[in-house]
Structure 1
Amino acid sequence: MLMNLVDYVIKNANTSFQDLPFNQVDSAVLSQASYLDFNVASGKTLGELAVSSRSENLYEGTWNPQGNRDLVEAFQSSKRFGGIRWTEFVNVTDCDKQYQFSAVTYHLSDNLCFIAYRGTVASVVGWKEDLNMSFMQTIPSQKMAVAYFMAVNKKNPNCQFILGGHSKGGNLAEFVAAQLPNDLKDKIKMVYNLDGPGFRNDLSSKTDAKVLKMMPKNSVIGAILDESSDYQVVKSSKVGIRQHDLFTWQVSGTAFIEEPDISRLSKGVSSLSSKFVVDLEDSAKEFYLDKLFSMISINENTYWREVMTTRNGWLVVQRFLQTDAETKRKLFKTTVQLLSLAVARDASGSR
């Protein structure tokens, strides 16, 4: 029977991690839960999340509030997940320094922890930081992810770790595994990158831990800066960008159903993003993205749903029209370069 994440939690409610060892679907369940706002939780286990007097605030800023509600309700009656203790929740955003970072640690047993790095929520600043990877060797969240691991490890010296995350969170998990000193790399049992973007430079030679990257057939986010073929393609119940939602990934037993390969569109995104990084100067990319996002941002913590309103949409247009001629010229030039790269890639791919 085909299942999604919630179905999996319900089906395995009475199955312990001793009876059914931690697997790729478990990593997705806990990575998805990292999008919740644990600051408003009243208890310290996943099963207690639903009884919080402010439980509705758990889902603020998430992409799929109803899916997350269903997941939290399933935790409540699950022996497998309900008793998992969570600690060290961190959630910080700085619009001026352009970063959004969040992580939480789940204690699977006395000597095994799963660190989940949160992906990008529906805020403009989070997406701006993601795109900054095109011209920055290391973004602030990546540095914070390493510091977070070091702090958690110091508090749990006898623990081994599994690292994981969805979207940008998967990128952070893989980055941490590559950057740790050798004496700490041995403590990493596994890394799960769930449709997270790649890197400007290949990190595979620096990662001793086993890394499993999973992405749906129509992957967009996971295909960015990743032209490798070292990934598992999973089946989704949706199409296009909606396949990025972990709740759409199809489960059979203890694993995701596999697809033969990613789509031509996904391969195009991968190729184009790599060309964008290599062929355009970093200064041009930085200028382009800074100006573009300064027009889009309505306030200090703008969410995309605010940008998409008619009123704010017109405000973005007005900001562009009021921009000086030199800035418009530079924006137009970079846009033309991007379109040229896309056309060149499409032409070479159709031969």
Structure 2
Amino acid sequence: MADLMDYLDWRGDLTFSQSPFNEVDNLILAELSFVDLRGIAPGVGGGAGVPLRAAAERYFAAGRDKTLESSVLVPEQIPAMLEKMCCSARFGGLRVSCCEERLDEAREEQFAALAVELPDRTVYLSFRGTDDTLVGWKEDFNMALRDEVPSQLRAVDYVKRAAAQYEDWHLYLGGHSKGGNLAVYSAVNCGAAIQDRILAVYNNDGPGFRKTLLSREEHRRIADRIFTILPKSSVVGLLMEHEESFTVVDSTQVGILQHDGFSWCVLGPRFVRMDDLTGIETNDRSIREWVDSLDQPQRQQFTDALFEVLSASGATTLAELREQGVKSAAAMLKAMAGLDKETRKALDCAVGVLFIKSGAQSLLDDWKRESAKRRRKKAQRKEKEEL
């Protein structure tokens, strides 16, 4: 089954005048914001955009592609995708601008965005999803706790500033994973004048929102232009509440690995649709039941405890946790030792899910081995005491 890379090979020779912007183009541009173009593409208000082909040349000349190779979460195909894009008639001549990135541990904020100029005076504002940083992951968890988080507020400000730079242009907003959430949140809160210029908002398997946002008039004004795209076994995209309708697409992966947009199946200018929604409905129900079982203080305490455990080894990214291996696992288990039994059990489950979700299988294996070793030692001590 074809995927994003095949799409670039087979349809990259078609310009946007020959084949209009479509949902597959949306995901490609959403993934593009994972490319670190700081110092290459101008920031908001920093001048004219740079042709993608020229930006890619500078990017690869600086060896920045290597930064994705050590990542646990960011798809490793992104540098190859960028190469194909800049060699294509469809994407190579597009201009990129409004490059912005921020990581603030104190505010628990991870944000990055990029603007891509399309023909006919339209611009796609691409919001980066969660990266490898533990700060970014904690902000994701905070979305289930609060009506707004720092990156959502920054996304609104970003859209207002970018829209002012591209005065009278029409807008697309989109992102993958958390980036999809930021796209929707900023579209709802950017004001009626900017909303009138938005053609579509794409949430590509990103988490939804607390019910308070969906009931607002600002959301109703743009709801019919919000497109939620989920793989057939979505977990991430069904966290919290979503718009009533969403598109379910096929994937070459299984389970949580379907979150990877490069696994989504493509046929021509569209993703391959799925008619069977059984897996979606099951995930939707089980996750919401778990979230609803906790009150607000419990959710906050649990999240704080989880990330204290994850940070116990001194690592700041999932890649660092994976590289430290047994050391990370041992430090995290030690940090859990003083907690009550119920909290330890919940954290053990959450850490396992997080490692699976991020594809860090080797770290999950180390965690299980260290956990089993500690249980054996505890049992041995108990036997000696009884003797």
Shorter-chain-normalised TM-score: which range? Answer: 0.7 to 0.9
Q: 1:208 corresponds to which residue?
A: 221
Alignment of 1:290-309 (within 5 A): 290-298=304-312, 302-308=316-322, 309=325
Listed one character per residue, the Cα deviations across residues 101-138 of structure 1 (whole Å, up to 9, x for unaligned) are: 11100111362100011110122211111111121111
Listed one character per residue, the Cα deviations across residues 265-304 of structure 1 (whole Å, up to 9, x for unaligned) are: x434322433344342211110111011011015776221
CA distance in structure 1 between the partners assigned to 2:262 and 2:242 by the alignment: 25
Matching residue's letter, 2:109: Y
Please, what TM-score do these two structures have when normalized by structure 2? 0.79
1:312 Cα deviation (Å)?
0.9
Aligned residues: 332
Matching residue's letter, 2:92: G
CA distance in structure 2 between the partners assigned to 1:240 and 1:188 by the alignment: 33
Which of these residues, 292, 295, 313, is aligned with residue 281 of structure 1? 295
Which of these residues, 201, 213, 230, is aligned with residue 245 of structure 2? 230
CA distance in structure 1 between the partners assigned to 2:19 and 2:247 by the alignment: 22
Q: Secondary structure at the match of 1:102?
A: strand
CA distance in structure 1 between the partners assigned to 2:282 and 2:299 by the alignment: 19
Alignment of 1:69-84 (within 5 A): 69-84=79-94
Q: 1:312 corresponds to which residue?
A: 328
CA distance in structure 2 between the partners assigned to 1:147 and 1:175 by the alignment: 11
**More displaced stretch, 88-97 vs 244-253:** 88-97
What is the percent sequence identity of the aligned residues? 30
What 5-or-longer segments of structure 2 have no aligned partner?
A: 42-48, 351-387
Matching residue's letter, 1:225: M
Listed one character per residue, the Cα deviations across residues 51-86 of structure 1 (whole Å, up to 9, x for unaligned) are: 221143474347355411221110221111011111
1:189 Cα deviation (Å)?
0.6
1:203 Cα deviation (Å)?
2.0
Listed one character per residue, the Cα deviations across residues 202-234 of structure 1 (whole Å, up to 9, x for unaligned) are: 527514331111100111101111366511100
Q: Does 1:221 align with 2:228?
A: no
Listed one character per residue, the Cα deviations across residues 295-345 of structure 1 (whole Å, up to 9, x for unaligned) are: 101577622132241111101111112x3xxx5367259779x9xxxxxxx
Which of these residues, 161, 169, 177, is aligned with residue 171 of structure 2? 161
Listed one character per residue, the Cα deviations across residues 229-270 of structure 1 (whole Å, up to 9, x for unaligned) are: 511100111111111111111110100001114443x43432
8 Å contact from structure 2 (residues 155, 183) kept in 1: yes
Alignment of 1:31-180 (within 5 A): 31-39=30-38, 41=40, 44-52=50-58, 53-57=61-65, 59-60=67-68, 61=71, 63-64=73-74, 66-109=76-119, 111-180=121-190
8 Å contact from structure 2 (residues 178, 207) kept in 1: yes
Matching residue's letter, 2:2: M
Q: Secondary structure at the match of 1:284?
A: helix
Q: Secondary structure at the match of 2:285?
A: helix
Please, what TM-score do these two structures have when normalized by structure 1? 0.87
CA distance in structure 1 between the partners assigned to 2:315 and 2:38 by the alignment: 18
What 5-or-longer segments of structure 1 have no aligned partner?
A: 339-351
What root-mean-square deviation, in Å, do the aligned CA atoms of Structure 1 and Structure 2 show? Answer: 2.5
8 Å contact from structure 2 (residues 75, 260) kept in 1: no
Q: Does 1:251 align with 2:266?
A: yes
CA distance in structure 2 between the partners assigned to 1:290 and 1:250 by the alignment: 37
8 Å contact from structure 2 (residues 306, 347) kept in 1: no
8 Å contact from structure 1 (residues 40, 58) kept in 2: no
